[in-house]
Structure 1
Amino acid sequence: MNGQVIQWIVLGLCTAFVLLRLPDALRGRGRGIFVALVLLVIAVGLSLPQIYLPCDRLLGGINIANLVIRLSLYAVFVLLGLRIAAAFRSPRTRWLIVGPIGVTVLAVVVLSTVVLFAISDLPESSTGLFAYGNQETVRLYAEAGRLYPAYVAACLILPALKGLVDPAGRPAHRSASALLAVGFGAVVVFAVMSLVSEEHLGMWEIGLPFGAILLVTSGLTIIWASRRRTELTPRANHLA
């Protein structure tokens, strides 16, 4: 299975998850997760040349669409981080994400991303900026783009593991916690491998990040479906 097939499958599933949550979002329930999923659909869609190239042309043809991907993913991880920290009753995780440390990390990464993008020479649209991979600023831009998601994912692994081993947890929630833990772990592994590897990661370049997206969104959807099915009280799990 080639990389684009995987990307299209993940895009289709993420879109389906968004549509499943749309009625609840219109009623004012779970809007944070809904917005995160919509932004994720945008980021995944723009990773495909069939979508990226025409969208970027509308934005001027200078790869603004790639910057949209980066900033969308930062917002996704902020929203997911806050909701998952609340769901697992982890104030420390919330503090790490939106406390002084988390806000500083986010500010530094966003500023670095925008500055590195601005000083790079990107005159024509190129999906994933592959045509400009020889530029040092583009390489640093890509590394900055992986840093913040990895930071938030690392903060969320332990709460998800605690949800997995919680003997009082419902089977669906424990299964979802396992998917979330593995998904966030894959985000961290991908960031570390990208930093230490001097060569292209091959299929791992697609398998790890898109696999992580599939695992995390599936975990969130299982929790949502479990709540809908069993009519849990609102305080039982904020992810739903």
Structure 2
Amino acid sequence: MTWLAWVTFGVALVLALVRIPAALRGQSQLMLWLFALLAGAVLLSIEGPYLAIDHFLGGFNLANLLLRFLLYGITLLLAVRIAQAFGARGAQRVLLGPWGLAALGVVGGATVCSFVLLDPGASSVGLHGEATDIWFTVYSTLGRVYPGFTGVVLLPCLFRAVRRAPHRMLRAAALLLAAGYTLLALTNTFTLLPPSAVPLMEAVNYSTLLLILSGLATIWIGGLVARRRAVTS
């Protein structure tokens, strides 16, 4: 599924580049960083770039640990931004409150511990060669727990927005995001799947990213349309 990874990387990179003019004016700088970090995370999931970066870091899969923490940060910032876009103050309080930050801290600490305890072996994207190691199972499962948590927090407000958002663009964005976060929550079942299901898991991962990116792009386009209508009216 390398082609899908490169497509996802391209979409994230383009979205980052088109945000540069607004960011230089001091507008929506958060979105520029989010798209740039997303592009970097997707790049680290592709074998060629991953191996090159990991070789620079020592060649023992430290790039995989870096990828995990990139994803934790990205999912938190994304969830907060989406909650803001749909006026979901309750979701923001959960994500940034004691319970949400405690969940992030616990998962982050456990991720580092499990990485230290597993045998990462030679540099290998996805660490597929260590799938029989119990600590690899713990490590890979933890990588999905916190992102899935943010999705569960957001889904109620997204489902409400699909039905009640005042504009069609917002309803479409909410639908795309709800589909993406539903897939994200379902990735927590990957631990139960056999190793032969790796292509399916990769397809779900990249489809999740594309849906979320498409939802964010739809919110941005909807904002542009609304501002232009306000100017011309």
Q: TM-score, normalised to structure 2's length?
A: 0.93
Q: Give the C-alpha shift of residue 203 in structure 1.
A: 3.1
Aligned to 2:187: 190
Q: Give the C-alpha shift of residue 9 in structure 1.
A: 1.1
Aligned to 1:146: 144
Q: How many residues align?
A: 229
Consecutive unaligned residues in structure 1, runs of 5 or more: 234-240
Q: Is the 8 A contact 2:121 2:130 kept in 1?
A: no
| CA 1:209–1:230: 2 relative to 1, 3 Å | same
Aligned to 2:160: 162
Considering fraction of residues, name the structure with more helix.
2
Aligned to 2:49: 51
| 166, 169, 173: which one aligns with 2:170 | 173
Q: Is the 8 A contact 1:11 1:41 kept in 2?
A: yes
Structure 1 letter corresponding to 2:180: G
Q: Counterparts of 1:9 and 1:106 in 2: how far apart (Å)?
A: 29
Structure 1 letter corresponding to 2:96: V
Of 196-205 and 153-162, deviating more is: 196-205
Q: Counterparts of 1:43 and 1:200 in 2: how far apart (Å)?
A: 24
| CA 1:232–1:143: 2 relative to 1, 3 Å | farther
Determine whether 1:66 maps to 2:64: yes
Determine whether 1:95 maps to 2:93: yes
Structure 2 letter corresponding to 1:176: A
Q: Give the C-alpha shift of residue 131 in structure 1.
A: 1.7
Q: Highest relative contact order (Cα 8 Å, sep 6+), 1 or 2?
A: 1
Q: Is the 8 A contact 1:160 1:181 kept in 2?
A: yes
| 11, 14, 20: which one aligns with 1:13 | 11
Of 67-76 and 3-12, deviating more is: 3-12
Q: Structure 1, residues 18-64: CA drift from partner, whole Å, max 9, x if none? A: 11212112222122222122111111101111100011001111111
| 221, 227, 231: which one aligns with 2:217 | 221
Q: Give the C-alpha shift of residue 229 in structure 1.
A: 2.9
Consecutive unaligned residues in structure 2, runs of 5 or more: none
Q: Give the C-alpha shift of residue 4 in structure 1.
A: 1.0
Structure 2 letter corresponding to 1:175: A
Q: Is the 8 A contact 2:54 2:63 kept in 1?
A: yes
Q: Counterparts of 1:28 and 1:68 in 2: how far apart (Å)?
A: 28
Q: Is the 8 A contact 1:36 1:75 kept in 2?
A: no
Q: Give the C-alpha shift of residue 68 in structure 1.
A: 1.1
Q: Is the 8 A contact 2:34 2:77 kept in 1?
A: yes
Partner of 1:203, secondary structure, is helix
Q: Structure 1, residues 145-195: CA drift from partner, whole Å, max 9, x if none? A: 0000000011111111111111x521111111100000000100121x213
